[in-house]
Chains A and B, each alone.
Chain A
Amino acid sequence: MTATVITQDEIDQVFPTVAATMADALGCDVEDIQPDVSLIEGLDAESIDFLDMVFRLERAFKIKIPRGKIVENARGTLTEGEFEQKGVVTDVGMSQLKAYLSEVPAERFKLPMKVADIPRLFTPETFCKLVVQAQRDTKAAG
């Protein structure tokens, strides 16, 4: 995890491939993959679709995305205990989450938020950021 901000340019660069990959995985038109649409509520993605999308993105971009990477990235420097208590995101965790998922409209962050419900917030742009971060990690690993 690095604290370096992911730029809009970087997101724009990967978005077309991310969108095409997601459309294949979800069986929808690529035009339906808008950067801020909720994958679960807007595109009916299920947990198995997330697995499929990650699998396809790993191949498309030749990167590795460990399971739980989005939440890990979102947690940043916070410990697990600081980020969540008994499966519910803490106040400080919520601030961190909102900062990391800046592409998600504020009204979608419902309180209290369970950790298990975090994927409901994910959008195609969330995955773009994940890809960019994984590309950086791959490059850094040499």
Chain B
Amino acid sequence: MSAPLPLPVLIASGLAGKTVIVTGGSRGIGRAIVLLFAAEGADVTFFYRDNAEAAAEVVSSAGAAVHAVVAERVDVRDAAACAAAVERVADRCGRIDVLVNNAGTIRDNPLAGFSDSDVRDVLDTNVTGVFNVTRAVAPHMISRRSGRIVNLSSVSGEKGGRGQTNYAASKGAINAFTRALAVELAPRRVTVNAVAPGVIETEMSQTVRELAGDEVRARILLRRFGTAEEVAYAVWFLASDYASYVTGQVLTVDGGFKME
């Protein structure tokens, strides 16, 4: 008789006590990520741009978490502000273990209808913002030979979507950034991955859902929109000990979205 197979052993996620930074944490997917990581016992600081009321609500919702959640008003487009905020977190917590680059914005329009600011705001927030925060955080992770970076991408980064040339370009850039940084940081045992959500029930996708909800839903194999929590679980996985051998990947969380 052959030896019995070892029973599967569920290990802890490893996130308890970890220092986590989440950008764009006051609403939508970012809010769900903050609350999930806080519930896991991580020491979470999230950045938000201007909605202090929403930020306060997240802090209060996480009230029962093991560690207090800290909200920092930081515009990710401002490199100096990002560097200063990251240093404050490092000074307070002594290290940074996980960075979730979630802050993003959307300004859908046909290409010819874009204003300069439609292009600039999306690229500055979604791409330059990721560079700004990651440049500030990476030395901490390199120095400790440990760290997890998870970038929020989008299915738009791989597949076309009408009126989304600016957003799609920004998310395609994030996918490329993820793969290149994974190569650069792998020797220092820092993993870099991305999560690419499809249409998720958040404020950011409200217009798409309102204007073309049925049409879009018909293209999703699971015939429904995703929830912020379902995306947060994918981020949690990539930041956890379960994903210790995963780097340079873009994990799609879209219910099976078939796009043109």
Contact = CB atoms under 8 A, between A and B. Distances in A.
Interface of A: 25, 48, 51-52, 55-56
Interface string B103-146: 00000000000000000000000000000000000011011000
Size bracket, chain B contacts = under 10
Contacts of A48: 142, 184, 187-188
Contacts, number: 16
Contacts of A25: 143
A69 to B, nearest CB: 15
A48 B142 CA distance: 8
Q: Which of B140, B142, B187, B188 has the most CB of A within 10 A?
A: B142
A25 B142 CA distance: 9
* A-B interface, 10 closest residue pairs, ranked by CB to CB distance from nearest: A55-B139, A52-B142, A55-B143, A52-B143, A56-B143, A51-B139, A48-B142, A51-B142, A48-B188, A48-B184
A47 to B, nearest CB: 10
Q: Which applies to chain A's interface (DSSP): helix, strand, loop or mixed?
A: helix
12 contacts: A25-B143, A48-B184, A48-B187, A48-B188, A51-B139, A51-B142, A52-B139, A52-B142, A55-B139, A55-B140, A55-B142, A56-B143
B187 to A, nearest CB: 7
Given A52-B142, A55-B139, 14 more contacts: A25-B143, A48-B142, A48-B184, A48-B187, A48-B188, A51-B139, A51-B142, A52-B139, A52-B143, A52-B188, A55-B140, A55-B142, A55-B143, A56-B143
Contacts of B184: 48
A56 B188 CA distance: 15
Contacts of A51: 139, 142
Q: Which of B139, B140, B184, B187 has the most CB of A within 10 A?
A: B139
B234 to A, nearest CB: 28
B87 to A, nearest CB: 10
A13 B148 CA distance: 37
A56 B140 CA distance: 9
A26 to B, nearest CB: 12
Contacts of B139: 51-52, 55
Contacts of A52: 139, 142-143, 188
Nearest to A24: B143
A48 B139 CA distance: 9
Contacts of B143: 25, 52, 55-56
Contacts of A56: 143
A61 to B, nearest CB: 15
A138 to B, nearest CB: 16
Nearest to A27: B145
Contacts of B188: 48, 52
Nearest to A55: B139
A58 to B, nearest CB: 9
A48 B140 CA distance: 12
A23 to B, nearest CB: 14
A130 B220 CA distance: 58
Nearest to A56: B143
Nearest to A51: B139
